Amino acid sequence: MAEIISLSAQARDLKGRKTEHLRAENLVPAVMYGFETEPANVQLNRGDFGRAYQKAGESTVVELDIDGTKNLVLIQEVQYNPITDDVTHVDFRRINMNEKIEAMISIKLTGISPAVKDLGGTLVHSLEEVEVLALPAALVREFIMDISSLATFNDVLRVSDIIVPEGIEILTDKEDTIASIQEPVSEEELLAQEAATTEAIENVAKQEEELAKAKEEEKSKEPKK
């Protein structure tokens, strides 16, 4: 079993907009729900959560200590401020260590692709996480995949290429593409794409103009009251 990461939190009574002052005090509002528990509103230190989240992600068991009561949880969802990118709210899911659960495990790409280095291609990371079914103790932080096998533009890494640890079942379609290499686009092709895009935009604008004109003409034919 992987190391269980510990995190402390305190119960909170404030809800909604009243939690704004928590953020000013470097605290993050959160909620815990799930196995054999009613939803519980809590607060925790922003820095402590950031360090725990970096280690655990959303697929490693966290021991959440709420005022002395320990709960085994997964970080279910993290919300961010769209401007500052600060964490604004966290959902924790309380789990039963003896019951299989569905979870998302992220995919980390490592290595150097010859098709990128030698052929000038562009790496396309199409799938960044996969859904799995496993006992909580079997979950891992991430799947690591080596892209050095992507030597040509026809080479692809699929879900079926993941080296899956014992005890984990992948639910995501095995044929889904995780990573591939896009061929470099020539200047002529780029100009052609830009021209096609411009033409498409002009056609849409023309259609909208013709539609507006037709509506105006139809309106002018209506009898005046």
For residue 18, pLDDT over 60 is answered with no
| Average confidence score pLDDT of the chain | 90
* Per-residue DSSP letter, 164: P
Q: How far apart are CA 198 and CA 148, in angstroms?
A: 38
Q: What band does 107 get if pLDDT is binned at 50, 70 and 90?
A: very high
187-214 tens-digit pLDDT: 777 777 788 888 889 888 888 888 887 7
For residue 23, pLDDT over 80 is answered with no
Long-range interactions of 170-174: CB distance < 8 A, separation 24+: 170/130, 170/131, 170/132, 171/102, 171/130, 171/131, 171/132, 171/133, 172/127, 172/130, 172/131, 172/132
Residue 85 phi, psi (nearest 5) = 70, 15
35-78 tens-digit pLDDT: 999 999 999 999 999 999 999 999 999 999 999 999 999 999 99
Say what the pTM is. 0.74
